[in-house]
Structure 1
């Protein structure tokens, strides 16, 4: 008997018997999911987006819970020269000016102005990461950023790496130097009306079901079966755009389990904890003009930047990252409010305590639908992003900022990754 012919005929019978509800299901309505769905819709595919949250945008989220709105997640259109959101915003008539200079900058240690000598000493080591990446050979072996800076000594190495807590959101010993080196650079633009609002608007007109967290994906048949609270969806393929943190937490059960190469890729990627704590602060503003930035840098591990009254709004937005941000996230909104208020009281005076009237704290680290701010390749795992982007069984694709290569950690990268996955799915015969 010709077993090859028999297997082929059986596979054909299975395909014929598989009555898909849809061509493609996209899981997640953040930037990657919206981009993928738009690409598939343009290709004439029947596509549905299911989203666990009750809103669009994912980690691009413009929060107006305090009255004045601010971007609780992504806020910059990075590397604007190649970022797709420049054109998307222009097509929608949304302004994206250059990043403003702000209203001034001061450095503090434990809430007190840092002495000039200490500031000068610390400023001398900032920028050492980029200088070392240009001179140290990491071709033979990937290093952590901490290793890259090791010869600066135990006092200055953490200072040199501390800026990454406010950009990458992770401790330097957990960041691959090679992955950091490949990240794209360029001009930054901002979205005064809200980056999260922009992403959500781009999702308008798509078939999106909110409040539908996916709990299981079965892919041992000719298509995929996707379990949500409303029932099971059957599709020819699916694009999974949920954050790596959600996948690593096992929030979605895969049957059969994911291939070992995919599991290894996930093991090589962590999630940073870049975190914003917004306070509503009302009153005379303590004589400060809008847009002032105060940097608390007394302890490199507890680095925190406070943007005071940005865009002339009654807000103070504190940003931190790494393990310090994780601790605040686990402590909750009340503790986060108290921490920032105590710091402000040292900086501007005790009267600030009465002026603080509210807190907004979308803690990404403890959010069950994100489990972190954005992806970070662990040392020695710089190839994990590319491996995670490889299709599984010709019917599952992972896409998002974690698979965006040099565009990782950004909304623009997530969008490009979503489009790339959708283009691959659109080439399938359905």
Structure 2
């Protein structure tokens, strides 16, 4: 990853002693150093910290990365900027980022439909009968989800569409790989149907850049991975390599994948109800791979999508020259994306270049220069793109959001209910956790 343009005032961001040591671990019990510690400087952590600050509470945000924003990240390592993670302000009618963007003076626009879609099968243009079959399959899955009777029990989306047959069902489900980033058999139909919908907006200067700018003025300590949280006293003690910080309460906004990996040790361990909620959630693997191209654009209109769809389980969308930039961005999800993440940037680059050469012509190989591969699935600070609810565990999000012992609060896109899997949902969840903490302190 290259340098990030965030516009943040680093002195303001790190005010309060980013380089200063924390309290010494093992010192005698003392009053809390701060009112609250917020773990994670993504959208949820930023929102929670702002809400606490507005209420006159002192909060310190601890962030394991060397930057803010979490899975909202505008990558400039290739020169032209692109959103390596979240890129849409979904359900803009009620998404808080519409107002936040206006407050910080950053423009948003309606989603552009670009140059249209071209469908391919093994790098060759797809036959029209196959194109029609795909369109019909996509329509059927939406109708099934709208009409399904899920009162008796939750189903996976794969079960919901299973009677479409072994040929049509995988095609119908393949679109979920580019929206949810997961295989249909691992997605709760009840949870999916609960997700909010509405108009989408985009941030031309970068959604990640907007999120980073919104953090200005907060006390954020970068490169401070949390190792342990002790919560068996009247407050909490949060340990990082710099020492131990004591607070009245703690808001934990790290991704579900990080919580499940045990990266942060809880003393005592989290309650059974919280562990059960975590066991009902996992991380999807929606993935982007960006290539820098120079020279000929081969007659392709900016914003055109080249969709490789020969094998439904390996659906790959290649977005060509988005916004007129010299970039190609590949999107994929599910086990296919997991495999690419685990293979690494060099193999992912070779895979995309081979595919482009078969679609456009071998001359494109000369145009491809650098690659940026923000592999969220193998990123230790993310361990996936965003949370997915397992079939039969549709109550897990609400259960995970319940306060623990009056001093631990878990918040993020995973606890956002209908706003799950989005930056907007994470923001609403961070605000809700802060409100719960303040109510407890009132």
Q: TM-score range by the shorter chain?
A: over 0.9
Query: Which aligned pairs between 1:27-426 and structure 2 lie closer than 5 A?
Result: 27-426=39-438
1:242-261 deviations in whole A, cap 9, x for unaligned?
Answer: 00000011100001010000
CA contact (8 A) 1:80 1:188 kept: yes
Cα offset for 1:136?
2.0
Q: Secondary structure at the match of 1:285?
A: coil
Corresponding position of 1:11: none
* 2:249 match: secondary structure: strand
C-alpha distance in structure 2 between counterparts of 1:75 and 1:129, whole Å: 25
Q: Partners in 1 of 2:254 and 2:441 — Cα distance?
A: 25
Q: What is the alpha-carbon distance in structure 2 between the residues aligned to residue 164 and residue 402 of structure 1?
A: 18
Q: What runs of 5+ residues in structure 1 fail to find an aligned partner?
A: 1-15
d(CA) in 1 for partners of 2:350 and 2:263?
32
Q: C-alpha separation between the residues in 1 aligned to 2:346 and 2:303?
A: 25
Per the TM alignment, residue 17 of structure 1 is displaced from its structure 2 partner at its CA by: 5.9
CA offsets 1:84-115 (integer angstroms, 9 cap, x no match): 00000011111111001101210001111000
Deviation at 1:134, TM superposition (A): 2.4
Matched-pair contact (CA < 8 Å) for 2:146–2:193: no
SS of the equivalent of 1:125 reads helix
CA offset digits 1:32-81 (Å, max 9, x no partner): 00000000000000100000000010000000000000000000000000
Task: Work out the CA distance in 2 between the residues paired with 1:58 and 1:178.
Answer: 28
Any conservation in 2 of the 1:18–1:223 contact (CA below 8 Å)?
no
SS of the aligned residue for 2:109 comes to coil
**Aligned mates of 1:95, 1:328 — CA distance in 2:** 34
| 1:19 CA drift (Å) | 1.2
- 1:302-351: per-residue Cα shift (whole Å, max 9, x none)? 00001000011010000000000000000000000000000000010111
Write the distance in 2 (CA, Å) between the matches of 1:111 and 1:205.
50
Q: Is the 8 A contact 1:30 1:60 kept in 2?
A: yes
Q: Is the 8 A contact 1:18 1:222 kept in 2?
A: no
SS at match of 1:397: strand
| TM-score, length of structure 1 as denominator length | 0.95
Deviations 1:1-43 (A, max 9, x none): xxxxxxxxxxxxxxx9641111000000000000000000000
> Bigger shift: 419-428 or 327-336?
419-428
Higher mean displacement: 102-111 or 361-370: 102-111
Residue 121 of structure 1 and its aligned partner are, at CA, apart by 1.4
Q: Please state how far the C-alpha of 1:128 moved relative to its aligned partner.
A: 2.0
